[in-house]
Chain A
Amino acid sequence: MTSEIGYGGLAAAMVLSRIFTEATWLPRECTEYGMQRFTVTITSFLLIAVIMIPLFIAAGKTAGGDLISAISQRSKALGAFIGVILSVYLLFAASETALRSHYYASSTVFDSASSLYFYVFVGAALLFAVYKGLEASSRTGVIIFGGLIFLLLLMTAALLPEIKPDRLYPALIDDEESFFPQVIKELSENAEALIFIALCGRVRGRSRSALPVYIAVSCALMLFMTFLYNTVFGRLTPLLDFPFYTLSSVSDITLLHRINGIDVMVWVMASVIKAAFLTFAFRETIKGAFGSEKAAKPLSYAFALASLALSGLFTVFPGMFEPISKLCSSGIPLAAVVLLVSSAALLCMRERGEGRKGTSFLTKK
């Protein structure tokens, strides 16, 4: 191990990554107005918590070891299979991150800027983050997470006169037909589980603690954002491509007339951190699944560049992106990957554990 991070650092990066997805809606992915959104968020996080229980148990039993290496040590074929699936999913998640970030930045304050600038600057920042490594990126992630909390506090203070609590009403579900699809959609947006699967082996101490922290903090922040959308914009919410950006545009305090500049800054940096963590996840997957330490580093640079190129391709040919996005939005790939990895790890542990009378066999590499 060249570097390790604390579980707080991993959790902060995962929360930042999840909230980034929430704040940068892609076209036609509008959030609804209504109390149902609160219920959808709580239900989806409860579901993801249930799905992650095996992962939580498996991570707890690895005693600092990483799951993919553990599976690979037991069965190379299964390890390689999981490695390939994870790598493909991570590549899609990274390219989607770049796509969201590009679409968001070019639709808001940089509306007349060339796409080339985005790819050059964000690409350079991403490569630099990959070069500096997991530890440095984790520290930066914590700082940006602090920036996000500062932004939220600033916006809340500025929006206090605009908050109209009578827009909240006592109901849990407004439309039964749309409820379940919305839950699944939100569930599928927790690609951060992939980051945890690949990086839990790089966490000092109790790596699994990152999961409940991630779920609780992400859920709380998303509920708070929904509260702001509902009470400030009411029925206008579904018409806004980026409700959080519009909230920051409406935020008016004496010193900073509009704080949408800070908003864009936070999300562009968050996208870099998310893409960097997905790249690190890919690197660890390659190391764990294929045992190729040497190839992992150059491959991670190639991964970062490929994700940017793929996002550029998705921008030019949205027809390519939509079917993959639709498949991922079904929640099946995410649930399948999480359950496959955790059950495979648990099974491997059980088989080996019997031979060793229940002692933990997975040790740090």
Chain B
Amino acid sequence: MKKIAFIIAAVMLLSGCAYHTELDKVAIVEVVGVDFADGEYTITMQYFNTDAAGGVTAVDSSAPNTVTVSASGKTIESALEAVSYTSGKETMPGSAGLIVFGKDAITSFRDSVGFAVSHYSGNPQSYVCAADKAADVVNVKFSEGNASVEKLRMMMEVAENMGLTVQVQLYEALEMLCCPTGSLALPLISTYSGNTDTTEDGTGIIIKGGALCTDNRYADELSTDDMSGLAFLSRGSGKCDMTLRYRGDDVSVILYGISTKITPSFYDDVLGLDVEVSAKCKYVGNDLNDPYGAKDDIERICEKETVSRITSLLEKTVTAFGADVCGLEYKIRSYSPEIWRAISANYREYLKNCRFDVHCKINTERFGIMQG
């Protein structure tokens, strides 16, 4: 008992001897934005405002919930140091839930992303996305909730659940950049001037598609449909919401249980990819007289749309740039190490000349019927 009392006393008393930093002297970073212009990196950080937490409510409405600070430097590291100096706080970039890269900052991308993991306190689970200008996104403060990052991440999570984008975590981004073509597609966020109530200054935020990075740098913009195609090819959420044109009306369908199989082949020095997608479909019809009448048509339209999205993605990434954004390398190697050995030395060129066949099979299993 005496021993236990001694240990408890030691733990409680000796902890005061150690070096420590008070919470209000630390910037608990929520979002980091990285921009590059005129040979300088600009880091914009949004961190939790500890002074706002002392109010009557959990979030003090009289003080901003988050503080934004910005500084520049020749390298990302020096810009980070400048941010600490400017804010007068010890910054903790490792706590950032989201890192936004401006399109111009996506050069030598592997090194740029590397800053976040070069700190061992870095968070490999941080999400990474692109923006036309990162500072514009980071400067937006949502009026509800105390953490903008949560709102931004929820936006991306909802979009991913709808099969419209694929979220990328920091370690996944680095892993993709280590692959032979150094390619990945990041969700692309954009701001617009509007009058939305969700942000403090009325600025709106949308996910407008994706940013294709290949050979470690920004290459092109991808549409929302392209990103949806990527969701089909990569793990995604296994679910996709589609709005289709049918008999002059917009109808909504939900694809679920999505399964994708990619079979590579190699004939006459040409790489072939046979993509087979299968999914179940839920369609909400409004014709009570013949609820099943549209089944075949809807399935056909869904299949066509799915093939179109995947083909569009493959054309914009694989054919145009030889960029492998969905881990095709792993699939090829897993299917046949021989094919991989034959193409690995000149992988990008083989991808550019790659022939792909995309097939889709949709099966409508559920109908939601409502009064038209």
Contact = CB atoms under 8 A, between A and B. Distances in A.
A111 B121 CA distance: 8
B178 interface: yes
A108 B123 CA distance: 12
Interface stretch (B134-142, B270-278, B329-337): B329-337
7 interchain residue pairs of minimum CB distance: A236-B175, A235-B178, A169-B333, A169-B334, A166-B334, A171-B337, A167-B330
A263 B120 CA distance: 14
B174 interface: yes
A57 B23 CA distance: 61
Contact of A239 (B121, B125, B178, B331): B178
Nearest to A165: B334
A252 B127 CA distance: 14
Given A111-B119, A236-B175, 14 more contacts: A109-B121, A111-B121, A166-B330, A166-B334, A167-B334, A169-B333, A169-B340, A170-B337, A233-B175, A234-B178, A234-B179, A239-B174, A249-B125, A258-B123
Interface of B: 119-121, 123-125, 169, 171, 174-175, 178-179, 235, 327, 330-331, 333-334, 337, 340
**Which of the four size classes fits the interface of chain A?**
20 to 34
Contact of B171 (A166, A246, A258): A246
A225 B175 CA distance: 18
A250 interface: yes
Most interface-central of B120, B121, B169, B327 (chain A CB within 10 A): B120
Contacts of B119: 111
Nearest to A171: B337
B182 to A, nearest CB: 10
A246 B171 CA distance: 9
Interface string A41-64: 000000000000000000000000
Nearest to A233: B175
Contacts of A108: 120
A107 interface: yes
Interface of A: 107-109, 111, 164, 166-171, 233-236, 239, 246, 249-250, 252, 258
Contacts of A109: 120-121
B174 A236 contact: yes
B334 A236 contact: no
Contact of A249 (B124, B179, B331, B333): B124
Contacts of A166: 327, 330-331, 334
Contacts of A169: 330, 333-334, 337, 340
24 contacts: A109-B120, A111-B120, A111-B121, A164-B235, A166-B327, A166-B334, A167-B330, A167-B334, A168-B334, A169-B340, A170-B334, A170-B337, A171-B337, A234-B178, A234-B330, A235-B179, A236-B171, A236-B174, A236-B175, A236-B178, A239-B178, A246-B171, A250-B124, A258-B123
Contacts of A249: 123-125
Given A235-B179, A236-B178, A246 B337 contact: no
Nearest to A251: B125
Contact of B124 (A107, A167, A171, A246): A246
A227 to B, nearest CB: 14
A19 B369 CA distance: 59
A226 B74 CA distance: 39
A235 B334 contact: no
A235 B178 CA distance: 6
A169 B264 CA distance: 14
Nearest to A249: B124
A166 B340 CA distance: 14
Nearest to A114: B19
A125 to B, nearest CB: 13
Contacts of A168: 334
B334 A233 contact: no
A168 B123 CA distance: 26
A229 to B, nearest CB: 11
Select the residue from B327, B331, B334 with max chain A CB neighbours within 10 A.
B334
Contacts of B120: 107-109, 111
A233 B235 CA distance: 15
Contacts of B340: 169
A165 to B, nearest CB: 8
A340 B171 CA distance: 47
A252 B171 CA distance: 14
Quick one: which of B179, B333, B340 has the most chain A CB within 10 A?
B333
B171 to A, nearest CB: 6
A34 to B, nearest CB: 9
Nearest to A34: B333
Contacts of A239: 174, 178
A104 to B, nearest CB: 10
A252 B170 CA distance: 14
Given A108-B120, A236-B178, A250 B125 contact: yes
A164 B121 CA distance: 25
A239 B174 CA distance: 9
Given A164-B330, A166-B330, A169-B334, A235 B175 contact: yes
Contacts of B169: 250
B175 A234 contact: yes
Nearest to B121: A111
Contacts of A234: 175, 178-179, 327, 330
Nearest to A241: B120
A143 B327 CA distance: 41
A137 B260 CA distance: 53
A171 B125 CA distance: 31
B336 to A, nearest CB: 8
A166 B330 CA distance: 6
B171 A233 contact: yes
Contacts of A246: 124, 171
Contacts of B327: 164, 166, 234
A284 to B, nearest CB: 29
Contacts of B171: 233, 236, 246, 250
A161 B337 CA distance: 25
A99 B121 CA distance: 21
